[in-house]
Structure 1
């Protein structure tokens, strides 16, 4: 914590009678002011990508060879940019916000896999709002999300990574998952376990 300066902690300027005056008394001359030197103006550096920039601008800054954490840092935003990405980000948020980035990526890919499988609705919103598929959907809508929070902004980044296929799925073509704490007795092929979720196809 920075110390607070008070009048008693700052020494007053030392002025003595013997100090040399700035202008000689009785000379009638004013001090000469220094010439103002104008320095060349440098162009401002380009602004960093912000939450308000478009998805295309954000995507241009991402290198496919970047780590998942670096990609998330580059693409993190409080706005998904489209209704479809909002649905995908919302599902990632509610299903896996407490998971690792890899776990969130796995959940996002399951939704994308469903949308492209021909067995489920063909859009992210269609998959997410399909009846009896996701327990967080109640009455055809999602609960409130604090979109300024880091967890949601991470979910938006993961949604963009999944949508743009910037990182491969850690669970292959999995179409289903459940929390490890439950045992639904599904007769499906188990693909992988990532964090607290078990994935199937």
Structure 2
């Protein structure tokens, strides 16, 4: 039990320190920013899916190993994501969703997806395997062309995640 508590505390400290806990942004703030500017705050499912992609990237060797490192990475998320002001009625839902993802919640259909785009956008690549469309975004994994079985965005689905 004590080892588990130490492991959880160590993981939390690593996440927070990697996000600049002692500087400008915390992991919570960075996750909120990703959800706020990328999910259009249209659904909790969409926000949790965006957060799941961020966490998939944090776990990958191909991206920075902190939430803020991933969210602030150049040309990956909305322009000005780290500096634009967040406000509006949707902010409490964003804050709750960010807390939930940082505590371990994931959208059950995102799987290993590390990418998404607006659901209305049609990309011309043949290596995109779509896993879910929610919150106005289509989420996908990049795969070898021979392993792509869902090459077009799926119909939108909402109401899977719960507070």
Class of the TM-score when normalised by the shorter of the 2 chains = 0.5 to 0.7
Superposed, 1:105-144 pairs within 5 Å as 105-137=48-80, 141-144=82-85
Correspondence 1:153 to 2:92: yes
Give 1:173's aligned residue: 112
Report the Cα distance in structure 1 between the residues aligned to 2:106 and 2:113, rounded to whole angstroms.
15
Higher relative contact order (CA 8 A, sep 6+): 2
- Give the CA deviation at 1:167: 5.0
Report the Cα distance in structure 1 between the residues aligned to 2:121 and 2:35, rounded to whole angstroms.
19
Root-mean-square deviation (Å)? 1.8
- Normalising to structure 1: TM-score of the pair? 0.53
**1:19-52: CA deviation from partner (whole Å, max 9, x where unpaired):** xxxxxxxxxxxxxxxxxxxxxxxxxxxxxxxxxx
Give the 3-state SS of the residue equivalent to 1:133 in structure 2.
coil
Superposed, 1:1-201 pairs within 5 Å as 83-137=26-80, 141-146=82-87, 149-186=88-125, 187-201=127-141
Report the Cα distance in structure 2 between the residues aligned to 1:160 and 1:170, rounded to whole angstroms.
19
Report the Cα distance in structure 1 between the residues aligned to 2:131 and 2:65, rounded to whole angstroms.
22
Give the 3-state SS of the residue equivalent to 1:189 in structure 2.
strand
- Normalising to structure 2: TM-score of the pair? 0.64
Residue segments in structure 1 that go unaligned for 5+ positions in a row: 1-81
Change (3 A) 1:188 1:116: same
Q: State which structure, 1 or 2, has the greater radius of gyration over its C-alpha atoms.
A: 1
